[in-house]
Amino acid sequence: MGIIKTENKLKKVLSRFDVLFLSFGAMIGWGWVVLSGIWITEAGTLGAMLAFVIGGILVIFVGLTYSELASAMPKVGGELVYVLRALGKNLGFVAAWAVTLGYVSVVAFQATALPTVIEFFFPNYRVGYMWTIQGWDVHLSWVLVGVLGALFVMFVNYIGIKIAAIVQMIFTLMIAVMGILLISGASVTGSMANAEPLFLGGMAGIMTVIVMTPFMFVGFDVIPQAAEEMNIKRKSIGKILIFSVFLAVFWYIAIIFGVGVSLDKPSLVDASLPTAAAMGAIFGSEFFAKLLVAGGIAGILTSWNAFIIGGSRVLYAMAEARMLPAWFGKLHPKYKTPANAILFIGCLSVLSPLFGRPMLVWLVDAGGFAVVIAYFLVAWAFLRLRKDEPNMSRPFRAGKSNVVGWFAIVMSLGFIVLYLPGMPAALSWPAEWFIFAGWSLLGVFFWARMRKTLTDEHVDEYLKDVVELNDEDEEKVS
């Protein structure tokens, strides 16, 4: 029995702007609105900016490896394809399953963030007490907001990636306008006195923020997941990917600066949404604070949208490669979307609000840990393919030497260590480790099943389809 094939194919409908908005919108999301105060109070304004510079350097180096691999192998599945080709089926499964946890955690994060944001507009809308988790009361009205948001984003993705791309562009532009207002206003009216002390908590404080950065930057790797649906030149895939990473690094550093110079420390600590409070302080009006929160809601939707796209494509690719049940690989006959994979991730996000606001931090850390594991494996695959397949067509090359790959390897390993027990920023017990361990155990179940059915011959057959677009195909790309 050969590799599972779908009768239909994914549609090549994404333009250059679609791809850029998909990636950038995924990375900036909502975290900058709700978490900026935590970053500054943990590490100080300059310390938080430094943490994002360090995290950004990691992502830039990893992004360069992705850029080369995505342009060489524009195949749905991204990490799965690269690691499978370079390192074999076991590590290929690990990479794909790890990055899927990262995507699912972002989707679940947004389902919890949305009702948190709505509370800014309607402070007393929580009714129907359900239970208490870590001192936080979960109410039915709060849960329903998250559930309705999950159903909306799931529907948009279900009916087609082009519709999802249009939604992504609109909401990303809304975020950009709010960010520009905040940054430009802070540059004029802000005070460096508010930013002091520039460093807090020493290296422990900086590391606490650093471990959050992979989760904040995750999103550029959605591009490889949807590579098979892009109607652009292969070389452009790599260029757009790395450009979007640079934009996101600048965005987060600028937002931290804007908030840090606009609010003094007491105001920062007291604010439920520090970035919105900073916007209100800059323009002296509560209206502008609410305007920024509206932009933040757009950010929730851009991340939510992008990561359902990315996560569903990884699950689809894993099913196509016989690593997951064929059910995950079913394409909708009309919309040509991986319908069942979208429904699966959407249903997981529906469950997230039931755990209340504490779920936000749990998802950031557990998802970030999974993401850096995938980054490490992709960097390793990058180096292995450079060695084993030097003549592979690489329309976008991440430099002539392997320095980029080695930097990505070292920095990914460094981030992995930061999450381990005994480190200042280790995953917390039991919640964060439970999320990671639960997902890993589910992966072990599927991996054991795969080991019995997926032979080397099946892998070879699958990889035959992982070929570069030939010149004729390139000429057809508009």
Give the residue-averaged pLDDT of 425-449.
87
Lowest mean pLDDT among 5-19, 202-216, 316-330, 410-424: 5-19
In a domain, 365, yes or no: yes
With contact defined as beta carbons under 8 Å apart, do 119 and 273 qualify?
no
Distance CA 347, CA 363 (A): 16
Which residues are registered as beta bridge partners of 37?
A: none
Residue 1 lies in a domain: no
pLDDT of 5 above 50 = no
Task: Between 7 and 407, name the one with better pLDDT.
Answer: 407
pLDDT over 50 (residue 135) = yes
Residue 6 lies in a domain: no
Q: Which of 20-34, 115-129, 401-415, 462-476 has the lowest mean pLDDT?
A: 462-476
Q: What are phi and psi of 136, to 5 degrees?
A: -110, 125
| Stretch 426-438: mean pLDDT | 84
What share of the chain has pLDDT > 90, as a percent? 33
Q: Answer yes or no: are the C-beta atoms of 27 and 248 closer than 8 Å.
A: yes
Which residue shows structure tokens 């990914």?
Answer: 412
Which range of residues forms the domain containing residue 126?
16-476
Residues 95-111 pLDDT 10s: 999 999 988 888 887 88
Do 175 and 295 meet the contact criterion of CB atoms below 8 Å apart? Answer: yes
- Hey, what are 214's tokens? 């992979």
CA 189, distance to chain mean position in Å, is: 33
Asked, for residue 8, whether it belongs to a domain, the answer is no
Burial 61-88 (b: 16+ CB within 10 A, else e): bbbbbbbbbbbbbbbbbbbbbbbbbbbe
CATH number for the domain harbouring residue 23:
1.20.1740.10
Q: Among 221-230, 348-357, 435-444, which range has the highest average pLDDT?
A: 435-444
Residue 80 domain-assigned (yes or no): yes
Report the pLDDT value the prediction gives residue 161, as an integer from 0 to 100: 84
Judge whether residue 84 has pLDDT over 90.
Answer: yes
What digits encode the pLDDT tens for the residues 136-148?
788 899 899 999 9
Give the whole-angstrom CA distance, residue 112 versus residue 108.
6
Q: What's the rounded Cα separation, in Å, for the pair 131 and 212?
A: 28
Q: Into how many domains does the chain fold?
A: 1
Residue 470 pLDDT exceeds 50: no
Helix axes 89-121, 359-388, angle to 10 degrees: 150
Radius of gyration (Cα) for the chain, nearest Å?
A: 21
The end-to-end CA distance of the chain, in Å, is 37
Average pLDDT, the chain: 86
Mean pLDDT (whole number) for 304-314? 89
Q: Find the angle CA(149)-CA(349)-CA(294) to the nearest 5 degrees.
A: 35
Going by pLDDT thresholds of 50, 70 and 90, the confidence category of residue 121 is confident
Cα within 13 Å of Cα(105), Cβ side: 30
**Looking at the predicted structure, is the pLDDT value of residue 468 above 90?**
no
pLDDT class of 281 with cuts at 50, 70, 90: very high
Contact predicate 17/298, CB 8 Å: no
Q: Map residue 14 onto helix, strand or coil.
A: strand
Counting every residue, how long is the chain?
A: 478
| Spatial contact of 242 and 87, defined as CB atoms under 8 Å apart | no
Q: What are 363-397's pLDDT values in tens digits?
A: 777 888 888 899 999 999 999 999 999 998 899 99
State the DSSP string of 118-186.
HHHH-TT---SEEEEETTEEEEHHHHHHHHHHHHHHHHHHHT-HHHHHHHHHHHHHHHHHHHHHHHHHH
Mean pLDDT of 451-461: 81
Q: Is 230 helix (H, G, I), strand (E, B) or coil?
A: strand
> Phi/psi of residue 137, each to 5°?
-80, 125
pLDDT at residue 220, as a whole number: 85
Looking at the predicted structure, is the pLDDT value of residue 257 above 90?
A: yes
Higher-confidence residue of 288 and 458: namely: 288
Is 26 inside a domain boundary?
yes
Query: Do the domain assignments include residue 11?
Result: no
Q: Assess if residue 35 is contained within a domain.
A: yes
Output the six-digit token pair for 89: 């089926």
pLDDT at position 358: 66
Distance CA 235, CA 219 (A): 19
The string of pLDDT tens digits covering residues 164-194 is 888 889 999 999 999 999 999 999 998 899 8
**What mean pLDDT is predicted for residues 278-293?**
91
Q: Provide the pLDDT for residue 465.
A: 67
